[in-house]
Every structure is written in structure tokens, then in C-alpha cells.
Amino acid sequence: MSDQQQNQLWGGRFSESTDAFVQEFTASVGFDRRMYRQDIQGSQAHASMLAEAGVLTNDERDAIIQGLDEIRAEIEAGQFQWSVALEDVHMNIEARLTDKIGITGKKLHTGRSRNDQVATDIRLWLRDEIALIDGEMTRLMTGLLDLAEREAATIMPGFTHLQTAQPVTFGHHLLAWFEMLKRDRERLRDCRKRVNRMPLGAAALAGTTYPILRERTCELLGFDGVCENSLDAVSDRDFAIEFCALTALCVTHLSRISEELVLWTSAQFNFIDLPDRFCTGSSIMPQKKNPDVPELVRGKTGRVNGHLIALLTLMKSQPLAYNKDNQEDKEPLYDAVDTLAGCLRAFADMIPALEPNREVMREAARRGFATATDLADYLVRKGIAFRDSHEIVGKAVAHGVDQKKDLSEMSLSELRQFSDQIDEDVFEVLTLEGSVSARNHIGGTAPDQVRAAVARGREAIGG
């Protein structure tokens, strides 16, 4: 490629060609070409608008649109020749269009700049990716609801400080995961509102002297509205930062879930089994079954958090309007999208396949004096102040530790040595089923409440 060809789209001001190293260093086509569909989509809408505004003829518009359709087909067939010399996806496609249809191809860029073009492309691309991520997130949430309904009455220990606290149902625990993801999906959909604003028409930074119809382009591209300040339109990357922030939160939630899955699949807990297809073995220890999918998701949290910090740092000192720094926005954003989508897909496949070891869970809930709070509440209902009942139960637990007996395993006479208000009916509250069923209010762990919460969850994700 000659120097003249190399600089054909912007080189009029320059007297020498770009240094080869600088050319490689500043090029973005190696990664931004994944936005080719959105670049073509935006260019076709721009050409249609220019024709309606009288800037292009209908024949010119049709030639541009057909040429871009052919270029899309070339790219998807693997026949397109990408050039680092042409810097980015936008100039590669425009140069190829000019090769195909001649001088008409050079008219496409009338009334726009690469600054508003790239800002538009990346919003279109992220909007498409958000739709795919929303689908994977919803699939995972649906799997959680199905599993929670199936395990609505399965008893397991609830933990604080990773110490046995009170009995809960496995279904209730799964619904805690669901609530995390429900907030994540709300954030994702709210973020889309700010992604779906159109910068095109801002040109380089000040708008354009051509009689463009921004509202028409906005309509053609399905944006909710236009960015109303040209300086802000080309330099804003809030939407990318916001997306990375919600991604960091969502992957943090998946990491917390992963940590529990890793613990629960260990021999020490043995609460659940993961199917073999989500695990790997050891090269030296033949007995090993490693929960690699949860571990890897847990590990990817750090990389997503890093992308958020990278974008915040990228933008913190930039004056208005566009700066070359903003080329660095894409790789962190692309990887955040890919990482979140991959993690959600893995979990959406894996979660419905979990198999709880119900008897192991139940036996674990019997240990650790999980019904101590129920005994304290029982004494309160007998008229004893809570602080006094707390002390009484503490002494009963100390006795149980000494005798290696759970509260439910003590005789009535043993329990009455701590309070004469304890009667035969105490054993109704000391059972695991009695404990979880007693928490029969919205947000509680009772099986009926779990089933009601599942129904509400299904209604929520259907919207």
C-alpha cells in the first residue's frame, strides 16, 4: 500500500507517512473490528438520513447501502482484508466501500466524524450485548427458581461467620442468590436506558453545518433519544463505566455463590454434588473432583473489577471533548462483556444440575445447636424477658457441649433444670421442621414462604 493510499482518508494535512511502529501502536482494528455490524448499521442509517435531507441522491444512498451489505457479507465469509494502515474498523470499511462504488463511497462520511461514529458504534454494540446478557441472566434466574421450588422443604444449616446459626431451607438459600441476580438485572436494564442515546450528528465536537436530521437517524437506529450536547456526545463514556460497575457487582455475586459451591462440594461439607461435566480431575491424585467452573468464576471477579478501575482512571483527567485516550475504552469493555456473558452461561447450565445431599444437609443442621434461638423465643412466649431467656439457653447449650448433646436430644428433666417454664411442648419448637415452619412470614424460610417467593420471582422475571 502506497503512502497516498495509506493516508487516503485523513492524510491531506501530512507530508510524510506514519512511522510503522506508531501505525501499529495507534491502530485499534485488531480489536474494534468486532463492531463491524454496528458500524455498517450506523453508516446505512446515516446514508438514509443524508438522502432524506437532500445531501445525497437516492441513487447514491442505494449504492452505499448495497455496498455496505456486500462488505458485511465479505466480513462474515472471512474474505475481508483488514489493514492496520487504515487504523480501525470504520476506516477499513469506508475504504473498502470506496473501492467498490467509487467516489460515492467518499460521500458517506459527510456530516459526521469518527468521533461521533465510534461513540455511536460502541453504544449500538453494547446495546446488542446487553440483550444477550439479559437473556443469560434470566435463564440463570429461572433455573434458580425451579431448583428452589423443588427444594422448598429441604433443611440445611444457615450460617453466620460460617458457624451454624439457625436451620433454613435449601430453597430459601437459593432464593437469596436469586435476589442478588434480580438486582443485577434491574441494574442492567437501567443501564441500557443510558446506553441507548445517540451521539451521531455531534460530528467531531461541535455539530455540523449540513442540514442533518438527527431525530430521523435516531429513529432508524432504534435509539431512545439523541445526546443533546455535541461536546458531551463524543467524549462521554459514562455508559461503559456504568456497565462495568454493574458487571463487577454481578460477578461479585457469582463469586459469593461460587465460594459456597466450592465449600459445599468439599468432603468436609458434602452438601451438594456437581455433575462431572462441570469439574476436572487431578494429574496426580486420582480421587480428586475439582469444582473448576465455580473456582474460575470466582477468579474472574478480580479481572472485571480491574476493568472498572481502568475505565474510571482512563476518564478521570480528560478535558472535553474527544481524546485518543478513549481508544483504550474498548478492550476493558469488551472483556467485561465477554467475561460476564461466559460466567452467566456457565452458571445457567450448572445450577439446574446441582444435586443436594439432603440427608447430609439435615444432619449438619442438627449439629451446632441450630434451634437455640427457637428455645429462647419459646421462653419469651412463656413470659420471660428475652435477655433472661438468652442467658438460660446459653447455659443449656453449655450443658449440651459438655454432654455432647443437641438441645433436641436432651430430656425434659434436663431442660427444666435451666427453667421450670419449659414443658413437654418445647420439643415442637426444637425440631428442625418446627423451626423453619415457624418463620412463616414474607422473606422467611418456611417452605410455604419459599413457594410463594418462587411464584413472585417468576412473575418478576416475566416482565
Q: Which tens digit of pLDDT belongs to each residue from 54-93?
A: 999 999 999 999 999 999 999 999 999 999 999 999 999 9
pLDDT score of 16: 63
Number of other CB atoms surrounding residue 359 within 10 Å: 8
Active site residue 283: no
pLDDT tops 50 at residue 29: yes
Asked whether the beta carbons of 113 and 204 are under 8 A apart, the reply is yes
Residues 6+ apart with CB under 8 A from 60: 47, 51, 104, 107
pLDDT score of 1: 39
What residue ranges of the chain are covered by domains with CATH 1.10.275.10?
3-110
Please report which confidence band the pLDDT of residue 429 belongs to, taking 50, 70 and 90 as the band edges: confident
| Lowest-confidence pick of 2-16, 177-191, 245-259, 342-356 | 2-16
Mean pLDDT to the nearest integer, 167-191: 98
Give percent of the chain with pLDDT exceeding 70: 95
pLDDT score of 276: 85
16 burial level (CB within 10 Å; 0-12, 13-18, 19+): exposed
Average pLDDT over all residues of the chain: 93
CATH 1.10.510.10, domain 368-461, yes or no? no
pLDDT score of 267: 93
pLDDT tops 60 at residue 347: yes
pLDDT score of 405: 85
Active-site position among 15, 161, 283, 317: 161
CA distance 431 to 279: 36
pLDDT tops 60 at residue 463: no
pLDDT tops 50 at residue 365: yes
**Higher local confidence (pLDDT), 17 or 310:** 310
What residue ranges of the chain are covered by domains with CATH 1.20.200.10?
115-362
pLDDT score of 219: 98
What residue ranges of the chain are covered by domains with CATH 1.10.40.30?
368-461
Topology classification of domain 115-362: Fumarase C; Chain A, domain 2 (1.20.200)
pLDDT score of 4: 41
Q: Which CATH number fits domain 3-110: 3.40.50.280, 3.40.1160.10, 1.10.275.10, 1.10.580.10?
A: 1.10.275.10
Q: Return the CA Rg of the chain.
A: 31
Most confident stretch, 103-112, 269-278, 422-431: 103-112
| Lowest-confidence pick of 72-81, 213-222, 410-419 | 410-419
Active site residue 282: yes
